[in-house]
Amino acid sequence: MMRRCIRFTSLVVFLMVCSALVSVINVGQLNVSLNTRLRVAKLSSGAASGLNSEKPTYDSRIGNDNTGRISNDKTPNVIRELTFELRGNGSLDFCQAVPDSLEGRLNIDLEAKLQSAPPPVLDDVSPSGLWSPESCVARQRIAVIIPFRDRQKHLDILVYNLVPLLKRQKVAFRIFVVEQFGNKTFNKGRLMNIGFTEARKHNEFDCFIFHDVDLIPEDDRNMYTCSENPRHMSPAVDVFRYKLPYKALVGGVLSIKAEHFFKINGYSNLYWGWGAEDDDMFYRLSASKISVLRPPFTIGRYKMIKHDRKDVSPIRMQFLKTAKTRYLKDGLNTLEYKLVKTRFEKLCTRIIANVGDPPKN
């Protein structure tokens, strides 16, 4: 009889412990659910843009999935948490790192694009060139910065090709066209510094992609995102027979995080006329001990729209000699410009800026 009482007492105690554990678990689940809903509310608060001020947490442990669709650099950073409950209606997952919607190698006909009207796929882009996927949470928020002057047809071709590609890649993006005011000598480096500075006033971005207006991507597996290191996205251009002309080349299309852009002090402001500001960027990265990644040449392919090179800088090579010792005293921290106008257009935010006068001698 005594043994039965002991067993019964033990069973009661066991059941009480189990009941207490269940209560703790339920409270924990409730707390997680509430926190999850709060984060979803923040993610959704960016209106149609999907570009909000919340800083995501990254996990750099993801590697190549052996599908052949990922470049030879690391897969772009992914946010740790995998699923959010959204307003009690199903769940909102993070977009795939390499979406199933990608097409691979693209058939680019530059002449046809010059004659054609904007494709319907551009219709749901918000004014100012801003878009984010509705079916999932974009892993990165990117700013595409295009230095520009007097090449509207080239810009149209680029945007008509680039926007559908970015949408298939499921990134949240905003396109900034940074236009130099007036007709004085072009300064691409200043325009890219201005684009970076002004873009950060509009949204918080995880990645900045500096993009020449005359380069059209040929493969949508070349992801428009940032990796752990800056990535030279355009190593294979048709006019160079899809080969890298020289190792120090990082011009054309470059993706970079803000932390690295600040560390190297942005682009140089000294290069007036065509040439060498991108090579200067390579030396800045090298002096800061920041290595550059590249996708495979079979994926990082671009077509270049034919154009004339004007105002070639006669002293550009002299500046390159001092790039590594000069970069901390020439760049973002010495940038001067006058913002003339910011115009929200259908497919871009156009920033018109006066970059000043070139030196007389």
Show which residues are catalytic.
Answer: 212, 214, 274, 277-278, 304, 307, 309
Tokens of 207: 């990645």
In one-letter notation, the amino acid at residue 184 is K
For residues 160 and 122, is the Cβ–Cβ distance under 8 A? yes
Long-range contacts of 236-242, Cβ-Cβ distance < 8 Å, separation of 24 or more: 236/297, 236/298, 236/300, 236/301, 236/302, 237/301, 237/302, 237/303, 237/304, 238/301, 238/302, 238/303, 238/304, 239/304, 242/297, 242/301
For residues 223 and 283, is the Cβ–Cβ distance under 8 A? no
Provide CB contacts within 8 A for 55, sequence distance 6+: 204
Please report the DSSP string for 275-335 in residue order. Answer: SSHHHHHHHHHHHTT---B---TTTSEEEEPP----SB-TTHHHHHHTHHHHGGGSSGGG-
Give CA separation, 129 vs 48, 75, 134, 238, 349, in Å: 12, 26, 16, 28, 6
- Angle at which helices 188-202 and 277-287 pack, to 10 degrees? 70
In whole angstroms, what is the distance from residue 214 CA to residue 155 CA? 8
In whole angstroms, what is the distance from residue 303 CA to residue 119 CA? 20
Q: What is the dihedral of CA 98, 99, 104, 109, to 10 degrees?
A: -120
